[in-house]
């Protein structure tokens, strides 16, 4: 039997992907080249944009795709799969192509954030894991960035491991939060595996273990003089917590010439308590002492605290970040968009639905981002058929996404393809950036968005449009399949 440390992630798939693979094999489709897009339909929290994340873990998954002997035994005992198909799985590996939007890129509904070109069985089998990793990390990176932007330059740390929905969600969630702009995490494993800076202070239990609060604070300062952040709300924040912290700082840190220290509040009226604590610390000469706050924070509470004049230098955000509590699902989907015939010609495919939002955009596509040449701001994204190019010397017209009768013309612009090659013929061709590089890239790309797109309430709807050629192909398929 498998243990947690020996699980083969190839088997982390929906069972229907295996039954479909068996069906493709027996129908002679195992070598049929297919194209699948990953896209999402709505931005979480009714925001103006999302942030793509999870590619690093997807790369690891693709590179390790295989079926072990124990996996084959399990499939055989299911009694559903043909022996030639099981023989085929024994030598299974991914041999296809993948293009993806780099992690940290702001992305918008209905545009492909990842495209797979691969034989049918391979492309179908990876669906679940592709969606799992991109959906989860994009969700957390998007939520983290909302919280970081609400903090208006103040440090935000991810504190949510104990409330995460599983061990992997805690670790990869901390990584995604870092991409979104968090400066660190409470999760030690996320630091060990991915280099997300881990840190922490003390729990109320530390204070309660000592005969007095002052003794607890003094001991902590002696043990960690260069990282002394004291939790001051175990008993009474203003009557004893802050005074005892000041006394410990005076008795231990001041003689050592150390001025870097902090206090943390995890309960009560945070706005009022931090204002009063700031006065007490400043009056005692500890003007450099940082004040941290935690306790079920999110972007809206942080905004309110700042409006109320709270004196907070650092926010520790837990459950509402790591679970994206306000909207805990990123609705990415994986849809067939084209197949190749025997001659190699690409044949577009479409999914039609009475629900207009579920009608797909067909064909093997490219995604371009249009930037205003004068301001450097991102103006729109433009979906084309794979063999189209955009001429920057000619005006470009796009539909208004909220009023399809209205067009907007761009004349002085530059374009950049959003997707980059990740795998070619099953071989990794992507130079993986470090986590700090992804975080910096994310911040740079968000700066290219207009403030109207970034606001939390009623953000401007960013333009995402189809080229005329792609539009005509889509309409032709809709008429054909009506």
Band (pLDDT 50/70/90 cuts) for residue 405 is low
Residue 198 has pLDDT above 60, yes or no: yes
Q: What is the per-residue DSSP string for 400-468?
A: ETTEEEEEEEE-SEEEEE--EEEEETTEE---PPPHHHHHHHHHHHHHTS-HHHH-SSSPPPPEEEE-H
Instruction: Tell me the domain boundaries of the chain.
Output: 9-140+328-480, 141-318
What percent of the chain stands above pLDDT 90?
92
Instruction: Write down the H helix ranges in 286-374.
Output: 299-307, 319-322
* pLDDT, tens digit (0-9, with 9 covering 90-100), for 320-353: 999 999 999 999 999 999 999 999 999 999 999 8
> 195-200: long-range contacts (C-beta < 8 A, 24 or more apart)?
195/434, 195/435, 195/436, 196/158, 196/435, 199/157, 199/227
Band (pLDDT 50/70/90 cuts) for residue 3 is very low
And the tokens for 112? 């492909």
The closest of 176, 199, 154, 169 to 438, measured between CA atoms, is 176
Mean pLDDT, residues 432-443: 98
The closest of 137, 148, 162, 163 to 323, measured between CA atoms, is 163
Task: State the Cα–Cα distance between residues 120 and 127, nearest whole angstrom.
Answer: 11
Domain 9-140+328-480: what homologous superfamily?
nicotinate phosphoribosyltransferase (3.20.140.10)
Average pLDDT for the chain = 95
Band (pLDDT 50/70/90 cuts) for residue 221 is very high
Residue 482 has pLDDT above 80, yes or no: no
* pLDDT, tens digit (0-9, with 9 covering 90-100), for 358-383: 999 999 999 999 999 999 999 999 99
* pLDDT, tens digit (0-9, with 9 covering 90-100), for 38-83: 999 999 999 999 999 999 999 999 999 999 999 999 999 999 999 9
* pLDDT, tens digit (0-9, with 9 covering 90-100), for 74-120: 999 999 999 999 999 999 999 999 999 999 999 999 999 999 999 99
Q: Which CATH architecture has domain 141-318?
A: Alpha-Beta Barrel (3.20)
């Amino acid at each position: 039997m498998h243990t947690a440390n020996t699980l083969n992630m190839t088997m982390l798939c929906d069972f229907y992907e295996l039954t479909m693979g068996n069906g493709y094999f027996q129908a002679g489709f195992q070598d049929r080249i297919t194209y699948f897009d990953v896209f999402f339909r709505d931005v979480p929290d009714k925001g103006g944009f999302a942030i793509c994340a999870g590619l690093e873990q997807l790369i690891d998954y693709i590179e390790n795709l295989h079926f072990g002997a124990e996996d084959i035994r399990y499939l055989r005992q299911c009694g559903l799969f043909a022996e030639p198909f099981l023989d085929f799985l024994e030598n299974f590996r991914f041999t296809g192509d993948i293009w993806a939007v780099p992690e940290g890129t702001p992305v918008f509904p209905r545009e492909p954030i990842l495209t797979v070109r691969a034989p049918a069985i391979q492309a179908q089998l990876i669906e679940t894991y592709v969606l799992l990793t991109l959906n989860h990390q994009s969700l957390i990176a998007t939520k983290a960035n909302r919280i970081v932007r609400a903090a208006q330059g103040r440090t935000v740390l991810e504190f949510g491991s104990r409330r995460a929905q599983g061990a992997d969600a805690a670790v990869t969630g901390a990584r995604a939060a870092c991409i979104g702009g968090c400066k660190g995490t409470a999760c030690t494993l996320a630091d060990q595996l991915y280099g997300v800076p881990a840190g922490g202070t003390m729990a109320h239990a530390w204070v309660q273990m000592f005969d007095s609060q002052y003794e607890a604070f003094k001991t902590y300062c002696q043990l960690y003089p260069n990282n002394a952040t004291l939790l001051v709300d175990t008993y009474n924040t203003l009557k004893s917590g802050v005074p005892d912290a000041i006394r410990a700082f005076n008795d231990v840190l001041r003689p050592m010439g150390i001025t870097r220290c902090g206090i943390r509040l995890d309960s009560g009226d945070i706005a009022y308590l931090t204002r009063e604590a700031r006065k007490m610390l400043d009056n005692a000469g500890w003007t450099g002492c940082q004040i941290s706050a935690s306790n079920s924070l999110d972007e809206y509470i942080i905004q309110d605290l700042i409006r109320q004049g709270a004196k907070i230098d650092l926010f520790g955000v837990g459950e509402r970040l790591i679970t994206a509590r306000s909207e805990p699902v990123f609705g990415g989907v994986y849809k067939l968009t084209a197949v190749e015939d025997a001659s190699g010609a690409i044949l577009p495919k479409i999914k039609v639905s009475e629900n207009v939002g579920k009608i797909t955009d067909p064909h093997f596509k490219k995604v371009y981002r249009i930037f205003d040449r004068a301001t450097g701001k991102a103006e729109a994204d433009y979906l084309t058929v794979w063999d189209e190019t955009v001429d920057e010397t000619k005006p470009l017209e796009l539909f208004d996404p909220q009023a399809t009768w209205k067009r907007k013309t761009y004349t002085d612009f530059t374009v950049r393809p959003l997707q980059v090659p990740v795998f070619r013929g099953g071989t990794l061709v992507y130079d993986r950036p470090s986590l700090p590089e992804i975080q910096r890239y994310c911040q740079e790309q968000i700066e290219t968005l207009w403030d109207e797109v970034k606001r939390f309430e009623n953000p401007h709807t960013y333009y995402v449009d189809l080229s005329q050629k792609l539009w005509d192909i889509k309409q032709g398929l809709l008429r054909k399949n009506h």
